[in-house]
Structure 1
Amino acid sequence: MRGVWHFSFTVADLDRSVAFYRDLLGFTLVHRQEQDNAYTRRLVGHPDAVLRVAQLAVPGQPRGVSTHDLELVEYVRPRGRPRDPARHLPGAAHLALTVDDARAEHARLAAAGVTFVSPPAEITAGVNTGGYACYFLDPDAITLELVQPRASVAGRVYAQNDHVRRPDDHR
């Protein structure tokens, strides 16, 4: 393994999901395309597959070989049924997003109608003690997480990535 190219979520409505990740969460839309070709059908294992795809990036993150971090895929054909999104089921996944202030982001997103599993909770055990975190859901009930690292961890991360604004930087 040499690195992570991207991660992907299958969504019911690509336009709705792009709006959520771009407009509410601040991702940048990098590229959109329809995939209606033999390669895609072989890749996904569906002989009649037609996909709509959007690639998004987290602003300010270093870019490697890939130009994006998140890929959203809508299967135009074959259409799928929603699955049980319960977090405790094997195969369930979530995406954790780092924020400067989990409580402020929670309030902003909740005011926009985003569904939360819980408000931000102080992390009181484990390697992330001193931070805050909470789970919330995207339009397809995919679990996402807001994580506010404890100050000492956030300071180290921001020092390593000096192009990213530090929580205490009020420029």
Structure 2
Amino acid sequence: MIIGLWHTSFTVENLDKSIPFYRDLLGLTLVHEQAQNNEYTRKLVGYPDANLKVAMFSIDGLDVGPSGHVLELVEYVSPKGLEVPEGTVHTRSAHLAFRVTDIFQTVHRLTEHGVAFKSEIVAIQEGRNKGGYTVYFKDPDGITLELVQPPSKERV
């Protein structure tokens, strides 16, 4: 029986480039970094020569449960993989959405730091989030992320 979420994970090309983006620009808290060059990890990921660098992030004020983090970034030191196509249209693609209080201010600040957005901010006009705002943007590896400002009366 599933009882909760542990974390979301993305594979990145260069962890040293990704950490400042998620920590300094997005404001996530870096809670732990570790090297994973061991038999347990090789068995888990299914690569006999796996050597990983990992960074774990939390969001201040969010109950992250016993794992202590909500986002994990993984760099494969070895083996080196192939890049998958960018974009959310491809099978097996994923994205992560962050809730914000002021999407306009957040987009302005990120734009000033060179973050690439896929569109202007979009007003949500249908469905359960009608009255809110959303926008997709990209991290340094081209991973799609989303900002969402829920409607003023959030549904519980």
Normalising by structure 1, what TM-score? 0.88
- Count the aligned residue pairs: 155
Once residues 130 and 120 of structure 1 are traced to their aligned partners in structure 2, the CA distance between those partners, rounded to angstroms, is: 13
Q: Percent identity?
A: 53
Could you report, residue by residue, the CA deviation over 1:31-57 in whole angstroms, capped at 9, with x for unpaired residues? 101111000000000000000001110
* Contact 1:106/1:119, CA 8 A, preserved across alignment: no
Q: Does 1:111 align with 2:112?
A: yes
Could you report, residue by residue, the CA deviation over 1:126-153 in whole angstroms, capped at 9, with x for unpaired residues? 1111000000000111000000001011
Quote the residue 2:19 is aligned against: 18
Once residues 26 and 34 of structure 2 are traced to their aligned partners in structure 1, the CA distance between those partners, rounded to angstroms, is: 21
Once residues 86 and 111 of structure 1 are traced to their aligned partners in structure 2, the CA distance between those partners, rounded to angstroms, is: 23
Quote the residue 2:47 is aligned against: 46
Once residues 139 and 24 of structure 1 are traced to their aligned partners in structure 2, the CA distance between those partners, rounded to angstroms, is: 11
Unaligned runs of 5+ in 2: none
Give every structure 1 segment of 4 or more consecutive aligned residues whose post-TM-superposition deviation is greater than 2 Å: none
- Comparing 61-70 with 128-137, greater Cα deviation is found at 61-70
Unaligned runs of 5+ in 1: 158-171
Q: Does 1:30 align with 2:37?
A: no
Residue identity opposite 2:60 in structure 1:
P
Could you report, residue by residue, the CA deviation over 1:31-85 in whole angstroms, capped at 9, with x for unpaired residues? 1011110000000000000000011101110131111110000000001122102
The alignment's C-alpha RMSD in Å is: 1.0
Once residues 118 and 133 of structure 1 are traced to their aligned partners in structure 2, the CA distance between those partners, rounded to angstroms, is: 10
Q: Secondary structure at the match of 2:5?
A: coil
Q: Secondary structure at the match of 1:82?
A: coil
Q: Secondary structure at the match of 1:40?
A: helix
Quote the residue 2:65 is aligned against: 64
Quote the residue 1:160 is aligned against: none
Once residues 99 and 54 of structure 2 are traced to their aligned partners in structure 1, the CA distance between those partners, rounded to angstroms, is: 25
Once residues 140 and 26 of structure 2 are traced to their aligned partners in structure 1, the CA distance between those partners, rounded to angstroms, is: 12
